[in-house]
A = this chain, B = another copy of it.
Amino acid sequence: MTSRSKPDAPSARPAMGKAATINDIARLSGVSKKTVSRIINNSPLVRKDTRDKVEALMREVGYVPDPMARGLAFRRSFLIGMVYDNPTAQYIVNMQYGALDALRDSGFELVVHPCDSRSPGYIDGVRRFVQQQKLHGVMLIPRASEDQALADMLADIGCRYTRIASVAMDEPARMVVTHDRNGAAEAAEYLLSLGHTDIALITGPNAYRSAHERTAGFLEALAARGIELPKSRIVEAGYTFESGVLAAEALLAGKRRPTAIFTGNDEMAAGVYKVALRAGISIPRQLSIIGFDDSPLASRLWPSLTSVRRHTRDTGRIAAEMLIQHQDNSAALSAASIRPHLIIRDSCQPPEA
């Protein structure tokens, strides 16, 4: 129990005495506030010894410029918005961690904005969010990032943004590409290397770019080794556990079952597990399975699931860095892209003779 000041006291003031302001720094170091301002903003137009003297004082008194005052004068806040639409929790949290990695000690903060891209007014909602908060920039996470109308709106109102997507769909300076295609290809190659040829595929919704990329990468890699899947071995599902169950039921019902299944994400792979376990089909002896995401679920399932890992945290970090970076080095980052790779666990083995 604490017995300090009343929580609803009308005026909340800093701990002891007011915090130092730019005026204090200017007065104490004997320069004008404009010079202090120049130092805050890293202007080159300050003599080195002036800068050193003032910076020492700032450190000494623990001075940090007020983001609201700065934002008011700049007509832009020091807030980065993260806009996303309904993906899995672990993915979002990792993305947030990554963004915060980039924002740490930068003076910027992360404000989250989940939305529903199926609701009609959602783009307007994002616009209000951006304009009312005068956001410095926003990160767009799949699947919202795939919505060109959203990106167009942001460009219209002059809001800088970065898009995270499985494939380049905007100027390089605004894109972080995750190359899902490569990850899926690696999964295909692994199954081939184990000797599988009767392989099935459960895809995410075709309308999702990520699903399209993963499917294409998987099928291409198979084709490169001369294997073409019949239509009956490819089932489109909805990226959800339940849809994975339905797809697996269709795939595992007949007598001639595939010896391996690749699913567009781990959720659907868990659905395959359920159907297989219920039907007494042994994983991996009678059925090999590979997922995509390397979510926590992958290691919690038994046997643990081989899955394609995405470097979500790094992806989020880079997307945020691109937003707060100064122009000079942003070019270096603009080509940012991260390749997924396969994490091998216990859900695959060569097919039975």
Chain A contacts to B: CB under 8 angstroms? 1-2, 4-5, 7-9, 11-15, 19, 64, 66-69, 71-72, 75-77, 79, 89-90, 92-94, 96-97, 100, 109-112, 114, 128-129, 131-134, 148, 151-152, 155-161, 169-171, 173-174, 241, 267, 270, 273-274, 277-278, 296-297, 299-302, 327, 330
**C-alpha spacing A68/B297, complex, angstroms:** 42
22 A-B contacts, Cβ less than 8 Å apart?
A4-B152, A4-B158, A8-B160, A14-B157, A15-B156, A15-B158, A68-B72, A68-B134, A69-B72, A72-B72, A79-B111, A89-B92, A93-B93, A96-B114, A100-B112, A109-B129, A109-B133, A110-B112, A273-B302, A274-B300, A277-B302, A297-B300
Contacts of A89 in B (CB 8 A): 89-90, 92-94, 296
A305 to B306, CA, bound (A): 23
| Chain B residues whose C-beta falls within 8 Å of the C-beta of A148 in the assembled complex | 2
User: Hey, which chain B residues are within 8 Å of A111, CB to CB?
Assistant: 79, 109-112
* Chain B residues in 8 Å Cβ range of A75: 11-13
CB within 8 A of A67: which of B133, B155, B161?
Answer: B133
Rounded to whole angstroms, the CA-CA distance of A156 and B13 in the bound complex is 11
Whole-angstrom distance between the Cβ of A209 and the nearest chain B Cβ: 15
Q: Across the interface, which residues of B come within 8 angstroms of A151, CB to CB? A: 2
Q: How far apart are the CA atoms of A110 and B13 in the complex, in Å?
A: 21
**Smallest CB gap from A64: residue in B:** B132
A349 to B151, CA, bound (A): 53
The answer to whether A158 and B299 touch across the interface, beta carbons within 8 angstroms, is: no
Q: Apart from A8-B327, A9-B158, A19-B131, what 18 extra A-B contacts exist at CB < 8 Å?
A: A2-B151, A2-B152, A4-B152, A11-B75, A12-B76, A12-B158, A12-B159, A13-B75, A15-B156, A66-B134, A67-B132, A79-B109, A79-B111, A89-B92, A109-B133, A273-B302, A300-B301, A301-B301
Q: In the complex, what residue of chain B is closest to A241 when comparing beta carbons?
A: B300
Bound state CA distance, A71 and B77, in angstroms?
12
Cα(A112)–Cα(B93), bound, Å: 10
Cβ B158 vs Cβ A5 within 8 A: yes
Given contacts A7-B173, A72-B66, A72-B72, contact A12 B160 (CB under 8 A): yes
Residues in B with CB closer than 8 Å to A131 are: 14-15, 19
- Are A96 and B112 also in contact (CB < 8 A) when A89-B90, A300-B267 are? yes
Known contacts A12-B160, A159-B12, A277-B302; is A68 also within 8 Å of B64 by CB? no
Please indicate the chain B residues that have their CB under 8 angstroms from the CB of A13 in the complex. Answer: 75, 158
A151 to B, closest residue via Cβ: B2
Nearest B residue to A3 by beta-carbon distance? Answer: B155
Among A4, A13, A158, which residue has the most Cβ atoms of chain B within 10 A?
A: A158
Residues of B within 8 A of A5 (CB): 155, 158
* Nearest-CB residue, chain B, relative to A97: B114
Structural contact, B2 and A155, CB atoms closer than 8 A = yes
Q: Report which residue of A129, A148, A152, A155 has the largest number of chain B beta carbons within 10 angstroms of its beta carbon.
A: A155
Shortest Cβ distance from residue A117 to the other chain B in the assembled complex, whole angstroms: 16
Complex formed: what's the CA distance from A270 to B1 in Å?
37
Taken together as a complex, chains A and B put the C-alpha atoms of A8 and B2 apart, in Å, by 48
A135 to chain B, nearest CB (A): 10
Residues of B within 8 A of A170 (CB): 1-2
